Amino acid sequence: MSAGPAAPLVEMRGISKTFGGVRAVDDVSVELAAGEVLGLLGHNGAGKSTLVKILSGVLAADAGEIRLDGRPVEIRSPRDAKALGIETIYQSLALTDNLDATANLFLGRELTGRLGFLREEAMEHAARGTLGRMRLQLPSLQAAVSSLSGGQRQAVAIARAVHFNARVLIMDEPTAALGPEETRKVGALIRELARQGIGIVLISHDIHDVFDLADRLTVMKNGRLVGTCRTAEVSKDEVLGMIIAGELPRALLAGGGRAMH
């Protein structure tokens, strides 16, 4: 997928962002490979949301560089990010509850004929195709999304991102509001999308939400990067230590875990 082993899908290097004297993000570097699930962990206010808002074009960084496939890119708006294949699923899901699933999937990117008239059937057909590839079934594509369950709404939000050929998918607390069964389904969907080569960033303040899903975990505290580790090489307790105390596990320090960014 990527240009070579030397160029990850996304690199954020030396990113800083200050809000009125507070360093929300302080010289943070992370990278994401194609087909990888990266968990971004930290308490509220650790700077993880600010960091991904910079990647999704909602905020502009004060310093630092973003590279896609090794090439530097400028992301000035959510529209720029989407054009580069960087899709964000917000915790609120950013769905319009009064519209149906198809309308939400295509919102802002409707299929139209000349003069801007909607091609409703073509959109519904394409929506069914995407949901089918994701092995998802909704009771109706023509019902307002307010009538769907939490997991189904999450699925619509994911389908919206995937439909437009997302390469990078940023998900903010994707399973926080879901019951166990729906959490399991959304988790399976995330692994399936990663298998298809999409790079996925999961943001959470709760390690239990992401520990079983993520290939690697990046921990932030007070705007700084604590460290990044392979999920397989650490225990939950060690990661909790990173989140709460901001300290790397000894094993990782000895093994040079920090060098991974």
Tell me which DSSP letter residue 177 carries. Answer: T
From residue 45, alpha-carbon distances to 25, 42, 148, 219, 226 in Å are 10, 8, 31, 12, 14
CB of 117 or CB of 181, closer to other proteins: 117
CB of 50 or CB of 88, closer to other proteins: 88
CB of 81 to other proteins, least distance (A): 10
CB of 117 to other proteins, least distance (A): 6
23, HSE (Cβ side, Cα atoms, 13 Å): 13
CB of 37 or CB of 59, closer to other proteins: 59
CB of 82 to other proteins, least distance (A): 7
Helix (H, G, I), strand (E, B) or coil at 169: strand
State both tokens at 156: 């619509």
CB of 69 or CB of 120, closer to other proteins: 120
CB of 182 to other proteins, least distance (A): 20
Footprint of other proteins (CB under 8 A): 78-79, 82, 88, 90, 92-99, 103, 107-110, 112, 116-118, 120-122, 124-125, 146
What is the sign, positive or negative, of the torsion defined by CA atoms of 106, 108, 109, 111? Answer: positive
State how far the Cα of 124 lies from the Cα of 138, in Å rounded to an integer. 12
